[in-house]
Structure 1
């Protein structure tokens, strides 16, 4: 069981690196074991898989959040269209951020159970950069074949797609995998009370508004996900 500090990304005592990936990519040991088996199976079919992002700490998530809140990074709607931050209310701005970026303390990447995956081969020459956008995983995209294979086989190794379908909260992310058993346990530990305490002690931009609306924000953006049984084996992604 994760401690509150581990659950909310304030410490990294629960994650490790592994020779199969870059040293900066860290996950819980059991997750790495399942990932190695999945990567080997993908390779046997002529595919390649790599991890773009694993564990992400609270400080990093806060930096992402604050840059978007301040206007230093762009905001997009669920369809990927650029928004004019100057025209948004406080609530609209926070909803736009949470459509694509997790609230610090509530990111599934804090848990060491979740990873963003891609096919590294189309990017190896350095002529194109991975963006982690839906078009890269749709038909004609560089990661489409991998996405199809994962939709059929990720569950065989204990993984599922929490953002397979847009359900009014986080946009669909065909690159985001969760290791089911451990992620479910972590999700159950992440209560409104835990989040309120962590956010209240932080330097998160707009935190007074976030804390005031936390039950609603948690229900929409943290709790409204696809579970391990949703659309298993279905190649259709619902982006919004």
Structure 2
């Protein structure tokens, strides 16, 4: 469960056919009921993601087979970067395999289907979720629900730029279960998992694992909502 090596801990969200942790699904369904009353239609576009899928994304980016972007979304020439620079550039936009919160099923990406034209395909970009973007009104409503403690344990782990993962307003997390799982995921356990598979830049990553863990993996406890 911790590293996304199986999908035995997740179930299907019927509408999207995405996989979610059962408790996250209940919270999402309750949020949807409130959203519908407000004129919104939340839709999950990405739920559980396996270790193998994340490893493929990582390896392709490290090998230059998929674009690696800088903080402004501009494509980088990885051939001109050091291994450390490549690893940290990838981490800005893509989770390290074994460290993705999507592995747990507690985390998922959501859009407002009510705002989309019939042929629209969400890209999950900052422009889409800006206040004046296509999904802006939904996210403003959701901000208010989260701030008021009326989001059923769902919160935004990447609400702000803390110098690691770029802000992802579309990314929601079910706090009670995610908090527990995050505290089981240590730098040492993560390195052990990475060294057991074929991962590009593995030595570089493990050589900087504590910095990576602090900047890109661990969400500070104070960012989680009250769960009492």
Q: TM-score range by the shorter chain?
A: over 0.9
Match of 1:185 among 180, 189, 206: 180
Task: Give the superposition deviation at 1:205.
Answer: 0.8
The answer for unaligned runs of 5 or more in structure 1 is 1-5, 231-240
Measured in 2, the distance between the counterparts of 1:122 and 1:182 equals 30
Q: Is the 8 A contact 2:21 2:105 kept in 1?
A: yes
Measured in 2, the distance between the counterparts of 1:147 and 1:77 equals 25
**1:227 is matched with which residue?**
223
Q: Which one is further off, 92-101 or 81-90?
A: 81-90
**1:22 is matched with which residue?**
16
**2:167 is matched with which residue?**
172
Measured in 2, the distance between the counterparts of 1:26 and 1:32 equals 9
Match of 1:57 among 39, 50, 55: 50
**1:233 is matched with which residue?**
none
Q: CA RMSD in A?
A: 1.6
Q: Is the 8 A contact 1:169 1:224 kept in 2?
A: no
**1:137 is matched with which residue?**
129
**SS state at 2:211 partner:** helix
Measured in 1, the distance between the counterparts of 2:224 and 2:213 equals 20
Q: Is the 8 A contact 1:169 1:220 kept in 2?
A: yes
Q: Deviations over 1:97-155 (max 9, x none)?
A: 101110000000001100101012344511x3211111001133111011101111144
**2:7 is matched with which residue?**
12
Q: Which runs of 4+ in 1 moved over 3 A?
A: 121-124
TM-score by length of 1: 0.88
**1:43 is matched with which residue?**
36
Q: Which one is further off, 77-86 or 37-46?
A: 77-86
Task: Give the superposition deviation at 1:84.
Answer: 2.1
Q: Which one is further off, 113-122 or 35-44?
A: 113-122
TM-score by length of 2: 0.92
**SS state at 2:108 partner:** strand
**SS state at 1:178 partner:** strand
Q: Is the 8 A contact 1:167 1:224 kept in 2?
A: no
Match of 1:86 among 71, 79, 82: 79
Q: Which one is further off, 78-87 or 61-70?
A: 78-87
**1:120 is matched with which residue?**
113
Measured in 1, the distance between the counterparts of 2:225 and 2:16 equals 31
Equivalent pairs, count: 222
Match of 1:107 among 93, 100, 105: 100
